[in-house]
Amino acid sequence: MQDHTKTDVPAGQPATTLHDPATLLQAVRPQLALEAIARLPRTEVEASAALLCTSGQARLDLGDAAGAADDFAAAERLAPSDSRAALGLAMALGECGRPHEASAAAQRAIAHGDQGTIARYVLGRAQLDAGELDRAQQTWEALLASHPTHGPTLESLSGLLWMRHADVDVARRPLDRAMQAAPEQPGIVVQLAQLLDTAGDSAQAVQLLEAALVRTPGRPELHAAAARVALAADPDRALAHARQAVQASGGRRSTVATYADALLAAGHVTQAADVAGRLYQADPRDSHALALLGTAGRLLRDPGHDALVDYARRISAEPIDVPDGWSDLPAYLGDLARELTALHRWQAHPLDQSLLGGSQVALHPAQAEGPALRAFVQAIDGPIRRHLARLAEIPDPTGHQASTGYRFSGMWSVRLRPGGHHRNHFHGQGWISSACYIELPSGMDAPGGEGWLGFGQPGIPTTPELTHEYLVQPQPGLLVLFPSWMWHGTLPFRGEPQDSRLTIAFDLLPA
């Protein structure tokens, strides 16, 4: 195995730290930390709770939650009173979709003396995922009583209150208290502005952010948030904030992407394409850059636009397979719909997602109680592998090598109510994204009609206004697979109050 550690340690650092796993992990080099651990004798690693915790944290940072859980569990067996091992195990089990076990591990970490904000936040997260909504709310409220400005807890509690009550006045209470305690902390203002914007009051959200900028001028996060909120209603105002965000942040990548959005919305298409092109050159896997390049190319009538999007070849739609234990697809979908419906308990959509007029829940099929959800991974495996085999015939603009190997980077279910829809968006952390239709209301059979999945219409206003370029009709059991960087959204649908549009979605990464 080639050793890259010398190029990743600052000059002047003692040579003894070059191969120290804990130092590498602290320097945000999780892969190098694992490689350093792999060079140690296995017996030494298995006998050290500290090394096992370092390995577990590195695996967690790299997205290997199952491997992390194994490491932290082994560390806790060696050192039953080690709060670090218990807390790491709680975080890993939460990522694995085992919330009850995660809750117990977090409580052990707290009992062993970890009274910090992270342990109590993780406990509330596990309680929420386990469906213990009152307990999660109580845990987070108690944490905020002693640490009223803890950002992750504020965001989670506000989101929980919003989804439980669909009442912005209820959801903003913890944020209002935090602003009273720390009126100059920009993160709290940004969270409150996001809540107001999601609830449909973008004008008040912009006013809130601009008032904060008067008190604390030049904060890039405030300018960037104001740009995002103002984008639809006032592109020129958004562009002014975006420019200041880039200047104040020293060209931070996220603010540059927001600047490209604002350029496009304000009609500066050539400039937007240039900025997006630079983002893409720096990182070809940047979904935001690719989405912007697709839109700018379309507006500029770039001959390369059709080759980039190539909807007919990059998108597939075929029925999922019938998993073992079911006689036909309708029988399986009926059981799956009943299991999913029982999981949808929220009154409102999440604050940070694309859907409006519905609810969303995270899924972990391997840990599911219902047999239909546990069988879902088998039902989609064949269509996924066939799609990836077709992709091997065309170049992937992200630079990923197409293969039949894949892994999930998230799975969730959405239930839209009449009038609900997904705003046009892309998935920033995926490679291949999806929509699988489980249960549909009537009225989706008209061409280009209600509830259809559309591609190509940007989530940013443009002049001229762009419509969807490619549409897919939902059908029960249909799995649609497409590049994560493509703009996609749904058309609203009408119906009776009891009607719903029930789907499962997931993102894939190469194995």
Determine the pLDDT at residue 18: 55
CATH number of the domain within which 92 lies: 1.25.40.10
Determine the pLDDT at residue 463: 87
In a domain, 404, yes or no: yes
Q: Please say which residue of 55, 79, 114 terminates a domain.
A: 114
Determine the pLDDT at residue 402: 66
Q: Please say which residue of 65, 85, 114 terminates a domain.
A: 114
pLDDT in tens, 321-343: 999 999 999 999 999 999 999 99
In a domain, 338, yes or no: yes
In a domain, 232, yes or no: no
The count of domains in the chain is 2
Q: Which helix (H) or strand (E) holds 340?
A: helix 329-343
In a domain, 283, yes or no: no
Give the torsion sign (CA, 145, 149, 150, 153): positive
Q: Phi/psi at 3 (nearest 5 deg)?
A: -95, 120
Domain boundaries, position 356: 312-510
* Contact present, 86 and 108 (Cβ < 8 Å): yes
Which residues face 1 on adjacent strands?
A: none
- Would you mind telling me the total number of residues written for the chain in this entry? 511
Determine the pLDDT at residue 444: 79
| Residue 391 amino acid letter | L
pTM given for the model: 0.88
In 231-328, where does DSSP find H-type helix?
A: 235-249, 253-265, 269-282, 287-299, 305-309, 311-314
In a domain, 123, yes or no: no
Which stretches of the chain drop beneath a pLDDT of 50? 1-16
Cα-trace Rg, the chain: 24
Determine the pLDDT at residue 19: 75
Q: Is the peptide bond before 461 cis (omega within 30 degrees of 0)?
A: no
* Contact present, 174 and 143 (Cβ < 8 Å): no
CATH number of the domain within which 324 lies: 2.60.120.620
Q: Is 481 helix (H, G, I), strand (E, B) or coil?
A: strand
pLDDT in tens, 265-308: 999 999 999 999 999 999 999 999 999 999 999 999 999 999 99
Q: CB-hemisphere CA count at 13 Å for 428?
A: 8
Q: Is the peptide bond before 10 cis (omega within 30 degrees of 0)?
A: no
In a domain, 286, yes or no: no
In a domain, 351, yes or no: yes
Q: Is 471 helix (H, G, I), strand (E, B) or coil?
A: strand
**Measured CA distances, 321 to 356, 375, 411, 412 (Å):** 30, 10, 18, 19
Closest alpha carbon to 363 in 129, 149, 186: 129
In a domain, 93, yes or no: yes
Q: Please say which residue of 114, 144, 178 terminates a domain.
A: 114
Q: How far apart are CA 82 and CA 78, in angstroms?
A: 9
**Measured CA distances, 246 to 193, 236, 257 (Å):** 20, 15, 9
Determine the pLDDT at residue 4: 35
